[in-house]
Amino acid sequence: MQTLTPVSACRHTTTIHVTTTQVTQFIDLTDRLERLVADADLRFGIVNVQTLHTTTAIIVNEHEPLLLTDFQALFEAVAPGAGRYQHDDMQARTVNVTEGERPNGHAHCRALLLPPSVCLNVTGGRLLLGRWQRVFLVELDGPRERDLSVIVFGETGR
């Protein structure tokens, strides 16, 4: 364990915009997050990555293309795209109905089982990630325009 007197507070907030191109898609955010930590000169603290949508998620896992297809198969097993969802019954539904509403109950159900935000540690000026850990935005109802909020919070080296 290591205790240091804080030098000066540091906080940055940024929005990352992503245009997704597929129905289900994994967008690797890791390089962008590492750059944010470096640009902020954050020495110690946290990075909180939050999606601003209800049919997306933030996950941390390995970036191996075949594994990402396994994840898609898991989503399909847990909440089938062709399943029946009350949320998609436009005869019955009266709340939050918008024009051109997509049938996306399956995407909300998939998002329910994944985190909407992930809080990661920063120490020694580096976003702490294990050898295989990569941070992804998961698109579950694309293609769409998506926004994430990232907060970098802690002590600077300046």
Among positions 57-96, residues that touch a copy of itself (CB under 8 A) are 59-67, 69-71, 74, 78-79, 85-87, 89, 92-93, 95-96
Strand partners for 122: 45, 127
Least separation in angstroms between residue 21's CB and a copy of itself is 20
Residue 110 contacts residue 78 (beta carbons within 8 Å): yes
Interatomic CA distance for residues 65 and 70, integer angstroms: 9
Interatomic CA distance for residues 92 and 112, integer angstroms: 22
Using CB under 8 A as the binding rule, the residues of this chain from 8 to 27 that contact a copy of itself are: 9-14
Residue 141 contacts residue 104 (beta carbons within 8 Å): yes
Question: Two tokens at 68?
Answer: 């990402």
Using CB under 8 A as the binding rule, the residues of this chain from 115 to 144 that contact a copy of itself are: 115-121, 123, 128-133
Question: Is 12 or 81 the residue whose CB approaches a copy of itself more closely?
Answer: 12
Question: Is 23 or 123 the residue whose CB approaches a copy of itself more closely?
Answer: 123
Q: How many alpha carbons fall within 13 Å on the CB side of residue 64?
A: 8
* Options 38, 112, 143, 145; binder of a copy of itself; rule CB under 8 A: 112
Closest CA to 27 of 48, 49, 46: 49
Q: Using the rule CB under 8 A, is 30 a contact of a copy of itself? A: no
Question: Two tokens at 129?
Answer: 């990630």
Least separation in angstroms between residue 114's CB and a copy of itself is 7
Q: Using the rule CB under 8 A, is 28 a contact of a copy of itself? A: no
Question: Is 20 or 51 the residue whose CB approaches a copy of itself more closely?
Answer: 51
